[in-house]
Amino acid sequence: MNPEQQEEKVHVLIIGSGPAGYTAAIYAARAELKPVMYAGFQPGGQLMITNEVENFPGYPEGVLGPKMMEDLRKQAERFGTQVRYSSVTEVDLSKRPFAVRADDGKSIMADAIIISTGATAKWLGLESEQRLNGSGVSACAVCDGYFYRGQDVAIVGGGDSSAEEALYLSKLCNKVYMLVRKDRLRASVVMQRRVEQAPNIEIMYHHDTVEVLGEQEVTGVRVRNLENNTTRELAITGFFVAIGHKPNTEIFKGQLDMDSVGYLRTAPDSTATNVEGVFAAGDCQDKVFRQAVTAAGTGCMAALEAERFLVGREMGE
């Protein structure tokens, strides 16, 4: 360890400040565990880059994502959570207490760790996609599909979650163009069949996105047919990207069990990882639901499990 780094001891260290992290913090702080939270590269998490959130319970009129995260932060701080605006860079989970380093120069010994580092949506990398993000471009059909009900939309991707999101959109929207680069879907046979049978989904195989169109809001998309290299424009108001997510779990590689994509593995009905005293909540361990309320739910579980772990250890169990 670098002798210049300051060392401190904490009961519960929470890594990540999305809905999972803040909910864990509220519970841990109210259990008087004096949690310390590292907020990371995106304080407040993914909802900081969205506008209206209409499906989080308790906001009958909807709420702006950043406002909701500010509310969660205030609630966590009210009970004594210490929030630090830096990132954790290194963990050693083979030691007790766990050894953690952060880019604020601190070296921390933690009795228990709650990982709530979330996931990052993959994007196509187009300038227009970035510019119109939140103004018609979205990476979450369940979150934003409702805003486009009765309208024409497009979704990119050919995997299972893309097929699932296309079906979700097909129930709300007038027409769904599904843009697939290959000559087939990667989705399971059951999902393929469902998508193919949906009367308002048009699967466009061999098609690539050239540009999302629109000044302030999405008005269309220019697509290229990869077989004959011709382009055409589709008039749409919503453009959904469903080409996968990358869990923010790099720093735990080799120390915690994860699947091939990097989602942390937790025990059934639990947030426990394979290392006792380390818990994972939210999108970093959930590739299925990926919602704020489910992240908050598992954040609550993680804090309760961390508390039980600490009590059990104190009693020598």
Give the residues lining the site for ligand FAD (CB under 6 A).
Answer: 15-21, 38-43, 45-47, 49-50, 53, 55-56, 87-88, 116-119, 121, 138-140, 143, 248, 251, 282-283, 290-293, 295
Closest CB to ligand FAD among residues 36, 166: 36
Q: Could you tell me which residues are beta bridge partners of residue 36?
A: 13, 82
Any idea which residues carry the catalytic annotation?
Answer: 140, 143-144
The H helix count followed by the E strand count for the chain is 7, 19
3-state SS assignment for residue 204? strand
User: Do you find a cis peptide bond into 43, omega within 30 degrees of 0?
Assistant: no
Nearest distance from C-beta of residue 78 to ligand FAD, angstroms: 19
Closest CB to ligand FAD among residues 224, 290: 290
What is the Cα Rg of the chain in Å? Answer: 21
Q: Under a CB-based contact definition with an 8 Å cutoff, are residues 48 and 60 in contact? A: no
Q: For residue 98, with 0-12 CB atoms within 10 Å meaning exposed, 13-18 middle and 19 or more buried, which class applies?
A: buried
What is the helix (H) or strand (E) element at residue 312, kind and residue range?
helix 292-314
Closest CB to ligand FAD among residues 118, 214: 118
DSSP code string of 80-122: T-EEESS-EEEEETTSSSEEEEETTSEEEEEEEEEE---EEE-
Nearest distance from C-beta of residue 300 to ligand FAD, angstroms: 12
* Parallel, antiparallel or unpaired: strands 6-15 and 36-38: parallel
Of 125, 122, 148, the closest CA to residue 135 belongs to 148
Nearest distance from C-beta of residue 74 to ligand FAD, angstroms: 16
Residue type, 64: L
Nearest distance from C-beta of residue 206 to ligand FAD, angstroms: 28
Please report, for residues 5, 101, 110, 154, the alpha-carbon distance to residue 277 in angstroms, rounded to integers and kept in the order given: 24, 17, 10, 44
Counting every residue written for the chain, the total comes to 317
Closest CB to ligand FAD among residues 127, 317: 127
The tokens describing 17, both together, are 């400040």
Nearest distance from C-beta of residue 205 to ligand FAD, angstroms: 27
The tokens describing 206, both together, are 């061999």
DSSP 42: S
**Helix %, strand %, coil % of the chain (to 5):** 30, 30, 40
Nearest distance from C-beta of residue 46 to ligand FAD, angstroms: 3
Nearest distance from C-beta of residue 286 to ligand FAD, angstroms: 7
Closest CB to ligand FAD among residues 74, 184: 74
Closest CB to ligand FAD among residues 110, 203: 110
Closest CB to ligand FAD among residues 180, 292: 292
